Amino acid sequence: MDQAAFTGVVGGVYENSPWVADNTFADNSKPFESITALHAAMADVVDSASEEKKLELINAHPDLAGKAALADELTEESKEEQAKAGLNTLSKEELENFTKMNEDYKAKFGFVFILAVRNATKYTILKSFEARLKNTRMKEFEECITQIHKIAWMRLLTILEPADTGFLTCHVLDTASGKPANDMAITLKRISGSGQLGVIGSFVTNADGRLTSGRALSGRQEFTVGVYEWTFEVGDYFAKEGAKLAGTPFLTSVPLVFGIDNPEDHYHVPLLCSPYGYSTYRGS
């Protein structure tokens, strides 16, 4: 693939700024093995650019629910993202509120407000406006670049196929007894994203507290960007263990809702539990 073809594919990832793709191609002689590697290289081009070039990049973005949107002058990428956040269906009062927030922000900082809105709501956007108006100009400048990288990442995921490297694992620890939770039933649901929705897997933990199958999901066909939910049958487990439980157990089924943002990564989503509490974290 030559530079023109490369920029033709990913040139719109950074809003109205094909120079990012051009420079990424020029700086890298080998093909990228993953979306993660490509995004990192493009982000490096932006991060190493001058402050003037970064400001140009920030201001290449449209206001959220601004004049460009009303005049149907958005890029296709921005149009889709703003629509997903419901910004194309604002009431008159909501539109006035967004207009005021945009104007207040630009008056204070001298550039447009940037937020990766693909998975946001009108409420979260307005709350972000309110919180970030309290920041310094330097902090906001940095935050805008961070948000632009997030936008670029999500755009890359819509146009390129991820590497076949991502997978999901789990581990359950019985913190009341200080041991792995053996023979606990778990179900996995996909709440949103590509692929089958609803229950997509049923599992039982082994003596090490891990899934007998090892991986719950693996590869780009199964392990896709989206929102998922583990459901752990902790009540049944502690009953089998002879734990002291109330007549109506405090915990029966424990749901954990989590998001997968990078389908090329290993996501380890465990449960640490007792009859009266639980916690989790993102591991790898």
**DSSP per-residue letters across 216-276:** SEESTTTS-SEEEEEEE-HHHHHHHTT----SS-S-S-EEEEEEE--TTSEEE--EEEETT
Q: What is the mean pLDDT of residues 255-262?
A: 98
What number of residues does the chain have?
284
Question: Residue 196: CB partners within 8 Å, gap ≥ 6?
Answer: 190
SS3 category, 192: strand
- What six digits make up the tokens of 128? 């972000």
What gap in Å lies between CA 248 and CA 63, rounded to an integer?
53
- 149 noted as active-site residue: no
Catalytic-role residue among 61, 149, 171, 268 = 61
β pairing state of 179-180 and 185-193: unpaired
8-67 pLDDT, tens digit each: 999 999 999 999 999 999 998 889 999 999 999 999 999 999 999 999 999 999 888 765
- pTM summary value: 0.90
